[in-house]
Amino acid sequence: MRFQGSICAIVTPFDATGAPDLAAYDRLLGLHLDAGTQGIVVGGSTGESASLDESEFEALLAAALARLRGRMPVIAGCGAAATHKALRLVRRARDLGADAALVVTPYYVRPTQEGLYRHYAALADEGGLPLILYNVPSRTGCDLLPQTVARLAARAGIVGVKEARAEPERMQALLALKRAGFCVLSGDDGSALRAMLAGADGTISVAANVVPRAFGRLCALARAGQGDAALALERELAPVYRMLGVESNPIPAKWLLHRMGLIGAGLRLPLVELSLEWRAEAESCVARIRQLEATADPAAARVA
């Protein structure tokens, strides 16, 4: 199983009662199939993992596997603040048939590097599912350092890292660890092109929710070494990236998808709908998205 190109950290739509809207979710999965997306993360932070019950996570994962199994990798978001809780999620994802688990560093508890090493080692040894490490200090309060990633990359069952820090030096340190069986993925849309041009295998993306065809094309161009064309497309995507960052993820992404007629507007508290001050800009962004998606060739996302 190869993890590369445009991998979407998919949102979780909710219906009018506040329950996961599986019909809308299936439509989104179909959209990604048509767009050439090369993987889906279910129940990540963009999918509001912190607000999902385990039964809801299982239903979403089962729905994604029913639609996508054998057609693109399905990666389960299995992060938790305690190792035994994350292990339970990894094992359940394994039993349902997920291709891998994306495991964010334990949040709030601020473990040491040795604690992070032992956390991931236990999950790799006992979970029975390939693991992708996930570092996003802005959300978790801890930073998985490259030295610790190097220790973990040598262990069986750990197949990659998603790095959300944008500094070029951090990505370069991780790219030195890349090998067959261990991928390096960007977790930051704004610096993803730079990372891929430097050698990253792909991106686990928020933007791919709203511009799946265009973002897939960006990844394909970058991985093919077509830097000038990729930079030109990135300039067109820049206003979309800006809109996605005006409030906490996934608030803007879900509002854009709602205004595109793909999902309802609902989030779970304490997240709320996009603030009024950003809605006019969001409407302009929707128009740009429609233009970008209309002109992007979905087959081009699969060439890399």
> Which parts of the chain sit beneath pLDDT 70?
298-304
pLDDT tens profile 135-189: 999 999 999 999 999 999 999 999 999 999 999 999 999 999 999 999 999 999 9
Q: pLDDT tens digits for 205-223?
A: 999 999 999 999 999 999 9
For residue 302, what pLDDT is reported? 57
Q: Which DSSP category does 275 fall into? A: P
Dihedral sign from CA coordinates of 139, 145, 148, 152: positive
Tokens encoding 220? 């394909």
Active-site amino acid positions: 134, 162
DSSP secondary-structure letter at 208? G
Give the 3-state secondary structure of residue 77: strand
Residue 279 DSSP SS3: helix
pLDDT at 297: 73
Residue-level pLDDT at 296: 82
Distance between CA atoms of residues 121 and 297, nearest Å: 41
Does the domain at 5-302 match CATH 2.60.40.3680? Answer given as: no
Phi-psi region of 69 (alpha: psi -120 to 50; beta: other; left: phi over 0): beta
State which amino acid sits at residue 87. L
User: Directed axis angle between helix 227-244 and helix 279-295, to 10°?
Assistant: 150
Q: Which of 59, 160, 46 is nearest to 103 (CA)?
A: 160
Please name the residue that has the structure tokens 């995507």.
237
> What integer best gives the mean pLDDT of the chain?
96
Residue 177: how many other CB atoms lie within 10 Å: 17
